Structure 1
Amino acid sequence: MQQITKEQLQDGNYLLFIFSPFCGTCHVARAMLEKIESIHQQTIFFEMNASYYADYLQEHKVESVPCLLIMEQGEVKEKVYAFRSIANIYTYLYEYKPEIFQEKMQ
C-alpha cells in the first residue's frame, strides 16, 4: 500500500484505506488489504493516517476507522467500515476495480 499524495487525492479516483496506528481492527483490515495486493502483485489501495487528515475526514463524513473510502470521479461511492473478510473486500473490487481481474485472465 502506498501513502496517498495530494495529487492522487485531487485526481478523485482511488480506493483509500483510512486508519489509525493505535487501532487493532485497523491492523487486521490492513492485513486483508495487503494480502489482496500480494495476490495481484500491484498497488490497489492507498492509505491515509486519520490522525493527519481531520479536515479530509470531516469533509467526506468518515465516521470511524478502519474505513475503505471508494472514490470515483471525485465522488464518494462507498464507505466500507466492516471489512469482515477478504472475500467481502473482493465484492467491492469486482464492482469498482474490475480491471485487476481482466489483467489476470489474459
Structure 2
Amino acid sequence: MSIIIMDPLGLAPKIQEALESVYDPELKPANIVDLGLVYEIITKEGGIAKTVMTLTAPGCPVAGEIMDEVQRKVAAIDGVNESLVELTFDPPWNRDMMSEEAKLELGFL
C-alpha cells in the first residue's frame, strides 16, 4: 500500500525517513512504513505536518508509545512547527499492506 502524500511544503521525504525509524516493538525489525501502518503524510502552511496512521490491532498495547514517537520524530524535522498524529482504523490494517521486504523480514513469505 502506498502512502498518500499531500505536501506543499516539500517535507514528505524527510518525514517518511523519520517514520522509517519508528518500530512496532512486537513486529521488529520492520518499521511502521514497511508494515503499511502509515496511510497519509500531509503538510500545511505554517509548518504543520500531519501523519495519518493505523495500528496492527485496535487494542495494541504500545499504541501510545508509537504515536508519541511519531509525533516527536516528525516535530524534530527542520521546517515542521507542529506535528499531528491521527489514528484511524479505516481501512483496517492487514498483512497485505506490508512491503515485500517487511514480509520477508518477518517470515510471512
TM-score by length of structure 2 reads 0.31
TM-score by length of structure 1 reads 0.32
